[in-house]
Structure 1
Amino acid sequence: MKPYAKIIIVLTFLFGVFSVFKAPGDPDFGWHYKYGEYIAQHGRILRENVYSYTFTNYQWANSYWISQVAIYLTHHYLGHLIAGLLFAGILSASVIFYVKAVSKNSQPIIVLTTLSALLLFVEFSGSGVTGRPMYFSTLFLMFLVAVLFGDFGKKLLVLPLLFLLWANTHADFVLGLFILSLYVVENGGLAVRLKGLLNLAQKKWIRSLRRGEAERAESVGRSQKNALASVPAKRTSNLFLVIIGITSLAVTLINPYGFGLWQTLLKESHPYQFSYISEWVPASTDNVYYFIVYCATLGLTVSAFIGARHKLPTWYILALGFFCIASVRAQYFFRIAVILGIPAFILFWSNPLADLKNALSPSLTKKFKVSFLVFLASSALIISTIFLTDASQCVKPNYWIEKQAYPKEALDFALANNIEGNVFNYYGWGGYMIWQYPQIKTFVDGRMASWREGNTSVFEDYIKIVNTPKKNLKILGDYGIGWIVYPTDSEFVKFLKTPNSGWEEVFTSDASTLFIRNRSIITP
Structure 2
Amino acid sequence: FFISLLVIFFMPFADNDFGWHYRCGSQILQGRGVCHGGEFLYFLSDYHWANPNFLYDILSTIVFNLFGFWGLSFLGSLLLTLIITLIYRSNSANIFIKIVLIYVAIFSSWSVLSLGLRSQLLSLLFGALTFYLLETKTTVSFKKIIWLIPLFGVWANTHGSFFLGPLIFAIYLAGQWLGFLRKKVLLKTAGITSAVFGLAILATLLNPFNYHIYEEIYRHWQMPLNTLIAEWVPPSLWPAIIITVLTGFFVIYTVIKDKIDFFTTTVLVSATFFALKARRNLPLFYFYYLYLVLKNINFAIDKKYGRYLAYFLTGAIVLGLIFWAPQKIKNTISFSTDLASYCSKGYVQYPCQATEFFKKFAATSQKSLNVFNTYEWGGFLVWQLPEHKIFIDGRMPAWSGEAGQSPYTTWLEIIQARSGWDKKLASYGTNCLFIGNGTFLDLLLQEQAEEYGYQEIYRDKLAVIWLKS
The size of the alignment, in residue pairs, is 451
Q: Deviations over 1:379-429 (max 9, x none)?
A: 555476444322211111222112231112122223333489632211111
The answer (yes or no) to whether the contact 2:370–2:431 under 8 Å persists in 1 is yes
Counterparts of 2:401 and 2:375, CA distance in 1:
19
1:142 matched to 2:128? The reply is: yes
Instruction: Call closer, same or farther: CA 1:119–1:40 in 2, change over 3 Å.
Output: farther
Q: Give the share of equivalent positions with the same residue, in percent.
A: 20
The answer (yes or no) to whether the contact 1:16–1:118 under 8 Å persists in 2 is no
Counterparts of 1:17 and 1:110, CA distance in 2:
18
Q: How does 1:377-388 map to 2 (within 5 A)?
A: 377-380=318-321, 381-382=323-324, 385-388=327-330
Matched residue type, 2:103: L
Deviates more, 1:242-251 or 1:26-35: 242-251
Counterparts of 2:413 and 2:37, CA distance in 1:
26
Gaps of 5+ in 1: 1-11, 197-230, 285-290, 520-524
1:256 matched to 2:208? The reply is: yes
Q: Deviations over 1:470-501 (max 9, x none)?
A: 43533333323343223336565455545678
1:368 matched to 2:320? The reply is: no
Q: Secondary structure at the match of 2:3?
A: helix
Q: How does 1:4-23 map to 2 (within 5 A)?
A: 12-23=1-12
Q: Secondary structure at the match of 2:314?
A: helix
Counterparts of 1:395 and 1:144, CA distance in 2:
36
1:76 pairs with one of 65, 70, 82: 65
Bigger CA radius of gyration: 1
1:33 shift after superposition: 1.3
Q: State the match for 1:463 in structure 2.
A: 412
1:400 pairs with one of 327, 330, 342: 342
Q: State the match for 1:411 in structure 2.
A: 355
Deviates more, 1:377-386 or 1:154-163: 377-386
Q: How does 1:69-148 map to 2 (within 5 A)?
A: 69-101=58-90, 103-104=91-92, 108-122=93-107, 125-128=110-113, 130-148=116-134
Instruction: Call closer, same or farther: CA 1:384–1:142 in 2, change over 3 Å.
Output: farther
Counterparts of 2:317 and 2:241, CA distance in 1:
19
Q: State the match for 1:184 in structure 2.
A: 173
Q: How does 1:433-512 map to 2 (within 5 A)?
A: 433-452=381-400, 455=403, 457-466=406-415, 468-474=416-422, 475-488=424-437, 490=439, 493-494=442-443, 496-497=445-446, 502=452, 505-512=456-463
Counterparts of 1:296 and 1:96, CA distance in 2:
28
Q: State the match for 2:254 in structure 1.
A: 309
Deviates more, 1:294-303 or 1:252-261: 294-303
1:42 pairs with one of 16, 31, 34: 31
1:46 shift after superposition: 3.1
Q: Secondary structure at the match of 2:464?
A: strand
1:237 shift after superposition: 0.7
Deviates more, 1:295-304 or 1:265-274: 295-304
1:329 pairs with one of 259, 269, 277: 277
Q: Secondary structure at the match of 2:89?
A: helix
1:300 shift after superposition: 7.9
The TM-score with structure 2 as length reference comes to 0.85
The answer (yes or no) to whether the contact 2:180–2:186 under 8 Å persists in 1 is no
Counterparts of 1:426 and 1:21, CA distance in 2:
29
Instruction: Call closer, same or farther: CA 1:275–1:263 in 2, change over 3 Å.
Output: same
Matched residue type, 1:479: Y
The answer (yes or no) to whether the contact 1:65–1:169 under 8 Å persists in 2 is yes
Q: Secondary structure at the match of 2:158?
A: coil
Q: How does 1:285-364 map to 2 (within 5 A)?
A: 298=243, 301-302=246-247, 305-306=250-251, 308-310=253-255, 311-347=259-295, 350-351=297-298, 353-354=299-300, 357-358=301-302, 362=304
Counterparts of 2:60 and 2:245, CA distance in 1:
33
Instruction: Call closer, same or farther: CA 1:403–1:130 in 2, change over 3 Å.
Output: closer
Q: Secondary structure at the match of 1:469?
A: coil
Instruction: Call closer, same or farther: CA 1:296–1:511 in 2, change over 3 Å.
Output: farther
